[in-house]
Amino acid sequence: MPRIQDRRTDRCGRWILLLVLFTFIITERCAAREMKIVIGTDLHYISSQLEDGGERFMRLLYDADGKVCQYSEEIVDAFLQEVIREKPDVLLLTGDLTFNGEKVSHEDLAEKLEKVRQAGIRVITFPGNHDLANKMARRFSGETLFFTPTIHADEFEKLYASFGPDQALYRDGYSLSFVVPLSETLWLLCVDVNAEDSPGVLKEETLSWIRPILEEAAGRGVTILSASHQNLLVHNKKFNMGFTMGNAGSLLELYRRYGVRLNLSGHMHIQHILTEESVTDIATSCMMTAPCQYGILTIAEDGACEYNTRAVDVRAWAQEKGLENEELLNFPSFARIFFDTMARRSAAKALGGLNLDEELQTRLTNGMTALNRAYFAGRMDLMTNGKEIYEDWKKNCPDPFLLFYMKSIVQNETEDQNHWKGELK
């Protein structure tokens, strides 16, 4: 009888030990769990209520910069479906949510974002330069366009209240900037520089609002992650005007003083990562421009972080929906070809009237198109002949703008801009 009792005691002890070990492992894993943030920018979403794919709208797109906004509804729906399935901790949208600030587009997008929030994912967003008081807000019908209402800052804040402002620990009274706590030790500082009275420029009042927040965070051992629409650093020294926020130098000084190491931005439409001294600015590319991608940032408990990009799988989404639209079913190639039309048109304009033979024109056009595509996708590492393309153009077509542009991207761009590893602390 005693032996039986001893066996039961031993067996019970082993189970208790296993339970303690299991609890310890689970606790450690939860404590060390990475935070995942999906970053989308420059959605340039236009509600299907405002465009019919007619001549006027399509002509506007073909004369622009290669955005496939005729499928903005489908791209955004596919993207948000991926986000819900991925279940990140946060979906962060860094401005230019709409095509040109149309009220209807904002309202429709807010409804879509609410579904993401209802799926248990925090959604945080703020405006870009296209989103507020935009005089270009239009509705398109066939060959005609009509004015359509836009929104102002107070309306934006109310409409997107659930996606940032209502979560805020602090809110700025001079812009739509705010601070959201992502955890006990990590705050997200969203910096808005698109106030109607100072578009593109960081206000001194907002800078003064940021300073004590950084002081408090430093005193409490809280790490700050920063986000903005306009860039914090100069990603292309030849094309800086209008892309880097005005007064960025003052903000950078504060960030370096208080140890803010990473800013997430967009606006330029190119995929590009730049580090100067201790601060990195990751510009995620425009979601409406091939390869139509978004960023994924993972942050470990110790502050180590990693950023990668992923293309929205519109093709799989269209197949799942049972759609028969060939452009959607072959979306990667369609989006790439549509984007390339911009470069081809620019090349044709520059080469026109030079009396070059057809073979040379084709070579120059194809070279510049490939160069432009690689630059926007952040894959200049694949362009081993980039400088040769530039020299070919320089020799045969001294177009000042295109030479200026090509030179700016072949001199220093040699790395894949879609991956980054760093530290927030």
Paired residues of 305 in beta bridges: 299, 422
Residue 48: Cβ-neighbour burial (10 angstroms; 0-12, 13-18, 19+): middle
Q: Please tell me which residue, 34 or 17, carries the higher pLDDT value.
A: 34
Q: Which residues of 366-381 are buried (b: 16+ CB within 10 A; e: fewer)?
A: ebbbbbbbbbbbbbbe
Is residue 363 predicted with pLDDT exceeding 90? yes
- Number of DSSP helices (H) and strands (E) in the chain, helices first: 13, 15
The confidence band for 242, taking pLDDT boundaries of 50, 70 and 90, is confident
Q: Name which of 183, 176, 196, 189 is nearest 254 in CA terms.
A: 189
Q: Please tell me which residue, 23 or 313, carries the higher pLDDT value.
A: 313
Give me the pLDDT at residue 265, please: 98
Is residue 212 predicted with pLDDT exceeding 90? yes
Give me the pLDDT at residue 358, please: 95
Coil, strand or helix at 308: strand
Encode pLDDT of 161-205 as tens digits. Answer: 999 999 999 999 999 999 999 999 999 999 999 999 999 999 999
Is residue 290 predicted with pLDDT exceeding 70? yes
Give me the pLDDT at residue 240, please: 78
Sequence letter at residue 29: R
* Residue 304 CB neighbour total at 10 angstroms: 14
Paired residues of 231 in beta bridges: 244
Q: Which residues contact 314 (CB under 8 A, 6 or more apart)?
A: 71, 74, 75, 78, 292, 328, 331, 335
Is residue 18 predicted with pLDDT exceeding 70? no
Is residue 44 predicted with pLDDT exceeding 80? yes
Beta strands per DSSP E along 63-121: 90-94
Distance CA 91, CA 38 (A): 5
Tokens of 285: 């590319």
Encode pLDDT of 100-120 as tens digits. Answer: 999 999 999 999 999 999 999
Give me the pLDDT at residue 416, please: 96
Mean pLDDT of 216-245: 94
Is residue 424 predicted with pLDDT exceeding 70? yes
Within 13 Å of residue 355, how many CA atoms lie on the same side as its CB?
0
Encode pLDDT of 60-76 as tens digits. Answer: 999 999 999 999 999 99
Is residue 27 predicted with pLDDT exceeding 50? no
Phi (first) and psi of residue 181, to 5 degrees:
-75, 120
Q: Name which of 275, 274, 193, 262 is nearest 230 in CA terms.
A: 193
Look over the chain and give the mean of its residue pLDDT values, rounded to a whole number.
92
Tokens of 237: 């020294």
Point out the least confidently predicted range of 157-166, 183-192, 272-281, 407-416: 407-416
Distance CA 84, CA 119 (A): 7
Give me the pLDDT at residue 11, please: 52
Is residue 24 predicted with pLDDT exceeding 50? no
Give me the pLDDT at residue 281, please: 98
Coil, strand or helix at 368: helix
Phi (first) and psi of residue 74, to 5 degrees:
-70, -40
Is residue 22 predicted with pLDDT exceeding 70? no
Coil, strand or helix at 282: strand
Distance CA 367, CA 170 (A): 50
Give me the pLDDT at residue 241, please: 80
Mean pLDDT of 292-313: 97
